[in-house]
Structure 1
Amino acid sequence: MDIDRRPSRTYNVLHYKAVGDGITYDTNAFLKAWEAACSDPRNPTILIPRRKTFLIQEFKVWGPCRSPIYFKIQGNIVAPNAIWSNENVNLLTFLNVDGLTLEGSGEIDGRGQVWWDCEAQKTLAFLGCNNLIVRGIKVKDSASKQVTFYKCNRVRISSLKITAPDESPNTDGMLITGCQYVSVRRSTIGTGDDCIAIGPDSRDINISSVTCGPGHGFSIGSLGGVGTKSVVKNIRVTHSSVSNALTGVRIKTWQGGRGVVRDIVFKDIDFAAVTTPVVIDQYYCPSRNCQNKTSSIAIRDVRFEELRGSSSSEIAIKVHCSKDVPCKGIVMDNVSLNWADDRRAQPTPAKSSCYNALDSRFHGVTPQVECRTG
């Protein structure tokens, strides 16, 4: 249950000389409102009022504050419609702000089209924020990652709408990395990369009732790049759907990494026109020019249950595990995936590709999975 934080004083950015015409920069007004609210011990609200559009550039604030803050976005926030920085920065960044609630019916527009050739700026980021609630807002067209959560604990995210064109590069809807005890519920994400990406050193993440598409589905990883160590565990993705996407549910690790991915559940998920709905890939290499290495992040105890729908390619299930560090304990139960071939009127049988998944069990799976070793 979300915490009801009742504020006692409201800091309206208009009272700090924000204009809200979408033309005049309002960053300083936002910063002044934050400074005043952050020093207030009485559970303040910062109000971004409705029927206004506020142009800002790199709003970046730090905690700790004297009490929890309610950041209410009722109007719209837009980035400059031009290249506005040579550095890798975010449009809005909250650092080490505990007890923050960011909520509202307004929209944050990253105006990312001008950036998509260089993939640098991001739109909304929370770093080191604990007991965080993000609810109800809309985010669109980030230059890169749309909403980022880094080293945040006890986070509740619900009723977000995140959008970007399917051809926009690297525009993950949410990136959750280094976080613990996170729930994502009742949200809609359509973008050019992963709808939700779970990065290194994350655990106890629950995702449910999320509609994904277009995009690259729900992904754990990539992990283990340049030989790094990572532990990701206790991840659940349930009661969701993926459509018109490259992948559906996926775990991807580089060769040469160290650590483990374990205790993962993908359950009750519908797929429609997904190129490859189910993927485990311990040979992740987007450049297709990677050296073979013997070490790898171990993948253990992953369950795929009650998955159904269609792939848009013949291979609906791809489980490619390392020869030197094989996957163990992969379970697929009640999985039914057909190949929706545009050349045929009816869905046709799909195929699977599997090797080096040891001590694994496949029950009631279509297409049938026969896993090779070596």
Structure 2
Amino acid sequence: MRIFFVLLLLLVFSAVQSAAGRQGKRYSVMDFHAAGDGSTDDAKAFAATWNATCGDSSSPTMVIPGGRTFLLSQIRLSGPCKSPVTVQLDGNIVAPNVIWTTTAANLLTFYRVNNLTVNGSGQMDGNGAIWWTCFNKKLLAFASCNNLSVKNIHLKDSPDKHMTLFRCSQVQVNNVSVRAPGKSPNTDGITMAFSDHVYISNCSFKTGDDCVSILSGTSDVNITNSACGPGHGISVGSLGGNNTTALVERITVSNCSFSKTMTGVRIKSWQGGSGKANGFLFENLNMTDVQYPIDIDQFYCPPGNCPPQDSAVAISDARFINIHGTSSNPKAIRILCSQSVQCRGIYLDNINLSCSRHTARTRATISNAYGTIAGTVKPHVQFLGA
């Protein structure tokens, strides 16, 4: 019996040691002389910690401990690394409260790091207010990162975009919150371009621009169980600016809520562009006091003086299903398509949008669009050929 217990203890000890080995070594920025006082630049300490972590082949963790605030100037943490890496962000990261560069920049960039997980209860604060007259500084960027996971962190007051994904594949963003004033310019929550297989879930976006923006070169995106507002909604585009060719495919937005946003779900493109945007599913969405809950606009032109052009990004196969709530504008549905490149395959099913101004009735504005109606659709929509 004694031998049995000894063997059992050895097996348990071996299992614990094996699990510890799988977790890998933990590298704290405090061990590399970070001050964590919110006023000393800790960029060098972060870089040294990253170099040690990235060079470890045992699936290590870079630890940014809670209870401290780390001031960072612009920093890039590059791969490839020798094994999967976890960044445990439990402390707070803050940007300098001064104009610290005159060129476009990201505060913190992860570049060419595959199998990266960023997790924790910490916050990144961009001190964005001093930048909002020029807004060309991003907060957190991932470039050429595959098999990326970002979970549970908080992003606040970025000078410009809060999180950017560029040329990333197989990305999961879960339970991330983004917060900036509703009038802060260009403070998109998550912006992605040339990326694929992006899954965003259980997130909260309160911004001054798009909650999520999906730019050209992006495909296979799924956004679900997330809340947007204030902000400009979840947007595909803008596409085709400066007469460029765009491609966006297979985008799903489901089980999301929108409150006091400019648009709910929208696809926007410039005149003069080319290419295609297709394969959209927007379903099970709740709108509260949203200006344009459903919006397709092939005449996107913020300056307001764009000359007419015949070419356009072709928009097709966009399904809107089970969308309910209120619009702050009587024009609850707006589908404005080019006469030369008409929208095709628009599908509306079970739409019920009333005006939050009780004296007004909602209506739809439709031009140059072919589509299908199923179930009850309010307000009334009339497609070409119907």
Give the TM interval when normalised to the shorter protein: over 0.9
Find the partner of 1:358 among 370, 381, 386. 370
Q: Which amino acid aligns with 1:66?
A: K
Q: Are positions 1:290 and 2:302 aligned together?
A: no
Q: Report SS of the residue matched to 2:261.
A: strand
Q: Are positions 1:140 and 2:156 aligned together?
A: yes
Find the partner of 2:191 among 175, 182, 189. 175
Per-residue deviation, 1:176: 1.4
Find the partner of 1:305 among 306, 321, 325. 321
Per-residue deviation, 1:230: 1.3
Could you say which residue in structure 1 is the equivalent of 2:42? 26
Per-residue deviation, 1:347: 6.7
Q: Report SS of the residue matched to 1:30.
A: helix
**Contact residue 95 and residue 107 of structure 2 kept, 8 A:** yes
* 1:319-356 deviations in Å (ceiling 9; x for gaps): 00010000000001000001111xxxx47421110011
Per-residue deviation, 1:362: 5.3
2: CA distance, partners of 1:259 / 1:122: 28
Q: Pick the structure with greater CA Rg.
A: 2
CA RMSD, aligned part only?
A: 1.2
* 1:33-88 deviations in Å (ceiling 9; x for gaps): 00111111111100000100000011212111111110000110000011100110
Could you say which residue in structure 2 is the equivalent of 1:79? 95
Q: Report SS of the residue matched to 1:36.
A: helix
**Contact residue 46 and residue 70 of structure 1 kept, 8 A:** yes
**Contact residue 370 and residue 384 of structure 2 kept, 8 A:** no
Q: Are positions 1:200 and 2:212 aligned together?
A: no
Q: How many residues align?
A: 365
Q: Are positions 1:237 and 2:253 aligned together?
A: yes
**Contact residue 362 and residue 369 of structure 1 kept, 8 A:** no
TM-score (norm 2): 0.93
Q: Which amino acid aligns with 2:108?
A: L
Could you say which residue in structure 1 is the equivalent of 2:176? 160
Q: Are positions 1:66 and 2:78 aligned together?
A: no
Per-residue deviation, 1:359: 4.2
Q: Which amino acid aligns with 1:18?
A: A
Per-residue deviation, 1:6: 4.9
Q: Report SS of the residue matched to 2:146.
A: coil
1: CA distance, partners of 2:335 / 2:28: 53
Find the partner of 1:263 among 279, 289, 293. 279
Per-residue deviation, 1:153: 0.3
Q: Are positions 1:95 and 2:111 aligned together?
A: yes
Per-residue deviation, 1:117: 0.3
Q: Report SS of the residue matched to 1:82.
A: coil
1: CA distance, partners of 2:363 / 2:384: 14
**Contact residue 319 and residue 357 of structure 1 kept, 8 A:** yes
Q: Which amino acid aligns with 1:222?
A: S
| Structure 1 residues not aligned, in runs of 5+ | none
Q: 1:322 to 1:185 in 2, by over 3 A?
A: same
2: CA distance, partners of 1:339 / 1:244: 13
Per-residue deviation, 1:116: 0.1
**Contact residue 250 and residue 279 of structure 2 kept, 8 A:** yes
Per-residue deviation, 1:360: 3.7
Find the partner of 1:274 among 277, 281, 290. 290
* 1:192-221 deviations in Å (ceiling 9; x for gaps): 000000010100000000100000111000
Q: Which amino acid aligns with 1:353?
A: T
Q: Report SS of the residue matched to 2:258.
A: strand
2: CA distance, partners of 1:358 / 1:139: 41
Percent of pairs with identical residues: 42
2: CA distance, partners of 1:359 / 1:315: 18
Task: Name the one with the larger helix percent.
Answer: 2
Per-residue deviation, 1:371: 3.6
| Structure 2 residues not aligned, in runs of 5+ | 1-20
Could you say which residue in structure 2 is the equivalent of 1:36? 52
1: CA distance, partners of 2:305 / 2:30: 53
